[in-house]
Amino acid sequence: MTFDLFKAFVLGVVEGLTEFLPVSSTGHLLLVQRFFGFDDEDFGKTFAVLIQFGAILALLSIYFTRLWQLAIGMFNDPAARRFVIGILLAFLPAAVVGALAHDFIKSVLFNVWIVCFTLIVGGAVLLWVDRMNLDTRYYESTKFTLPMYFIIGVAQCVSMVPGVSRAGATIVAAMLLGADRRSAAEFSFWLAMPTMAGAFAYDLYKSHAQLTSGNTIIVAFGFAVSFVCAWIVVKTFLGYVQRHGFALFAWWRVLVGSLGLIALALGR
């Protein structure tokens, strides 16, 4: 039990620190799970999804006031109503693809070799886009056009391949469509709310039978650690990327993916 709690702590830290960064939380969790020998267990795969709820709640707690204002305003404020529609448009592609391809994604694509390659490729793409001289036209995530929201949502579907990164795919698409770094990153937060909540609910439904009283304690501990770490990231991420861009995260992806490939090649 003690070692299981230690693994829950490590995985909670990894989940909380990486969920909202463009580095792929799923990819990092799969690599860490392999290191701990936790990757062959059905519950291990389920645990990685369930502790996402801690990260979700961290984001919701920080955005609670704005969410409340949005919920109230959507009935009498055209701008608020338009933004809600935009979020739903962006969420729709992932909801459809995720529901149809869930079993294939979990059984085939959750592969550490795929993770390492996509970490490296995704890092190169992120670095390339971050250095491009883009035509920036949008500085508020609430002001994107409706077609832009939908295209970002389509791009998010690519992140169902572990290692791509949901935040990374969303940010890259938004920037290529004219968003500045901060608004692109912030919209990844908004889109994460329904996307992560939907994924959590679906996986909980599919795997609730694997939860026992002992496992519940482990999940709760990982959840708490994930909440704290994610809260810190959400509070600091937007300010950081506005000042420094995404180069740090791009090079981190390349480093982790490269080290992973070396370890796999050596039979680790």
Question: What do you get for the CA distance between the two ends of the chain, in Å?
Answer: 25
Indicate the SS3 state at residue 21.
Answer: coil
Tokens at 159, concatenated: 């992140």
Q: Which of 94, 228, 104 is nearest to 150 (CA)?
A: 94
Closest CA to 142 of 66, 64, 60, 232: 66
> What is the average per-residue pLDDT within 252-259?
96
Which of 9-18, 35-44, 216-225, 227-236 shows the lowest per-residue confidence on average (mean pLDDT)? 35-44
CA atoms of 235 and 66, how far apart (whole Å) = 14
**pLDDT per residue as tens digits for the range 72-91:** 988 899 999 999 999 999 99
pLDDT at 213 over 60: no
Return the ∠ at Cα 92 (arms to 206 and 229), rounded to 5°. 65
Tell me the C-alpha distance between 189 and 60, whole Å. Answer: 10
What band does 70 get if pLDDT is binned at 50, 70 and 90?
Answer: very high
For residues 183-202, b (16+ Cβ closer than 10 Å) or e, as one string? bbbbbbbbbbbbbbbebbee
Identify the pLDDT of residue 210: 59
Q: What are the phi and psi torsion angles at 138 (to 5°)?
A: -125, 130
Question: How many angstroms separate the CA atoms of 230 and 241, rounded?
Answer: 16
Tell me the pLDDT tens digit for each residue of 49-59: 678 889 999 99
Query: Which among 133, 131, 111, 129 has a CA at the least distance from the CA of 121?
Result: 129
pLDDT score of 39 more than 70: no
Q: How confident is the model at residue 26 (pLDDT cuts 50, 70, 90)?
A: confident
15, 25 contact by CB (below 8 A)? yes
The per-residue pLDDT for range 79-130, each reduced to its tens digit, is: 999 999 999 999 999 999 988 887 788 777 888 999 999 999 999 999 999 9
Distance (Å, rounded) from C-alpha 191 to C-alpha 229?
A: 19
Q: How far does Cα 140 stand from its chain's mean position? A: 21
